[in-house]
Amino acid sequence: MLLWWGLACGLSGGPGADCADLDCRRAAVAKAWPEDPAAVRAEVQAEGDALVRASLVEAVFEAHPGAGLCTELPAGIVRRRCERVDADAARWTLDELDPTAQAAAIGPAFRSLAAGPTARLPGLSTATPARDCGNEVPEHSCLVERAREAARTGDLHGAAAACQAVGDVRWQPACMVEAAELGCRTQTVEHCGIAAELCLGAGAWQVPCLEHVAETVATLADPATQAPSTAAATGASARGWAALRQRTTELELRLGPLDLLRAHRLVDRVWAESARLSYGRASVLVGDPLDQLPADARPHVRAAVAWRIVDAEPPASLSDGAAAVVEALGQRGARGRDRLLERNHPSPVDLWTDDLPGEDELPWVAYLGPARRAVSSDPEIDARVVVLEAAARTSPPADWMLVEGLHDPARIVRWTAARLLAAIEPGHPALATARADPDALVARRAAAP
């Protein structure tokens, strides 16, 4: 057969006419596609061998996601993969060597979930994967399909083995993220810890992959006004705060030895997402989750309560808003009618996109999603910080609270107010006073363009 298609190719005069093997022909059609897609399509259509045709199409869609050659294949493994790649072409063309493009495509999580200085890759499975996909499926598509099948059944080690066998600089890590996302779902949260390890091998897609893990684990959260789940926090059906604590502990144990900083930030993101979901569904604002969660989760509960309070009706002053947050968190056991509209809020926009000189010393946590905010260990000060964060994101912004924050005795509150006001209303007259603040960080933020 090899001789036959080689001769046929030579007679056709199309891309790869001078090739003596399939690898050469694959490279030729991939190279020719941008300049002469019609010739490549004709070459594919003229190919009578099913495996060779599938291999040529695979070569094109791997090199040029979105090429649109999928219709030249019959229904099956390769066509399904081709259609998945084409449907999300922008994702699969992300370049790990271009951090600017990555940051633009991924958003604020590109920074908040970035690899730490001591990061290393996990030691994933080295088992030999099955390649029994039939005689019409080229190797890459077969291995990706086997990885997906393993992930669906919870065998993420088997999925990792299949992905590693792909051996391609783009499609091996792409396989890892596909497997992680299929293995870590709301119905299979017990697999999310292993999925997070696969994410570390996902190349340019590490951060979106970890975001998927965090957002999935966060769905375990109880509504803030619901009595704590009494079921054991084990097994596939376990839900609630106890199950969430167990999963975050697993994430730390799995990722900590590989990248301690990133493990901490990933768990922080889980608490941010879970607080947003919990209070988005809450019927009233109470502090019950504080009794179920570790200390690291408290800033996120505080932020979620402030968001709901300010979003419902912005308080008359920053001090009133902070007092309302403290009062709500002191309430326990309320199960009555809704005080606020019940809804899930979308993740807030990021209003801290870069660090000015000296700001790397400021402690921060995730803010209800991928955005960041400064955090204080003093609950009363932190209550004022989260009220400011919420005030900047109402429509229209509750800027009177930001102006009040510029005169707060706590530096972190003044800095937060200056950063937010400069971001949303850079010409606000109150910023002129803040530029003379005795603290250099505050003054620099107030003057930032």
pLDDT tens per residue, range 148-186 = 999 999 999 999 999 999 989 999 999 999 999 999 999
Confidence of residue 346 (pLDDT cuts 50, 70, 90): low
Q: Taking 50 as the threshold, does the pLDDT of residue 282 lie above it? A: yes
pLDDT level of residue 339 (50, 70, 90 thresholds): very low
> 293: which 2 tokens?
């969660």
- How high is the pLDDT of residue 334? 66
Q: What is the pLDDT of residue 132?
A: 78
Would you say 352 and 375 are in contact if contact means Cβ atoms under 8 Å apart?
no
Q: Domain range for residue 44? A: 2-93
Distances in Å between the Cα of 415 and the Cα atoms of 119, 264, 273, 409 are 31, 25, 25, 11
The last residue of a domain, from among 93, 116, 141: 93
**Of 35, 63, 93, at which residue does a domain stop?**
93
pLDDT of 232 strictly over 50: no
Instruction: State which of 72, 93, 114 marks the end of a domain.
Output: 93
Residues 206-226 have pLDDT tens digits of 999 999 999 999 999 988 887
Res. 233: pLDDT tops 50: no
Give a yes or no: residue 351 inside a domain. Answer: yes
Given a contact cutoff of 8 angstroms between Cβ atoms, the answer to whether 248 and 217 are in contact is yes
Q: Which of these ranges, 158-167, 259-268, 315-324, 343-352, has the smallest mean pLDDT? A: 343-352
Whole-model pTM: value is 0.90
Is 321 inside any structural domain?
A: yes
How many structural domains is the chain composed of?
Answer: 2
Residue 232 is assigned to a structural domain of this protein: no
pLDDT top residue among 17 and 83 = 83
Residue 219 lies in a domain: no
Tokens 């912005």 correspond to 314
Q: Is residue 125 part of a domain?
A: no
What are the tens digits of pLDDT across the range 391-404?
999 999 999 999 99
Position 57 pLDDT exceeds 50: yes
Inter-residue contact 168 to 81 (CB < 8 Å): no
- Asked, for residue 35, whether it belongs to a domain, the answer is yes
CA atoms within 13 A on the CB side of 447: 11
Q: 245 lies in a domain?
A: no
Whether residue 420 is predicted with pLDDT greater than 90 in this model: the reply is: yes
pLDDT at position 268: 98
Q: Does residue 26 fall inside a structural domain?
A: yes
- Give per-residue pLDDT as tens, 236-281: 456 789 999 999 999 999 999 999 999 999 999 999 999 999 998 8
pLDDT for the residue 136: 86
Whether the Cβ atoms of residue 405 and residue 318 lie closer than 8 Å to each other: yes
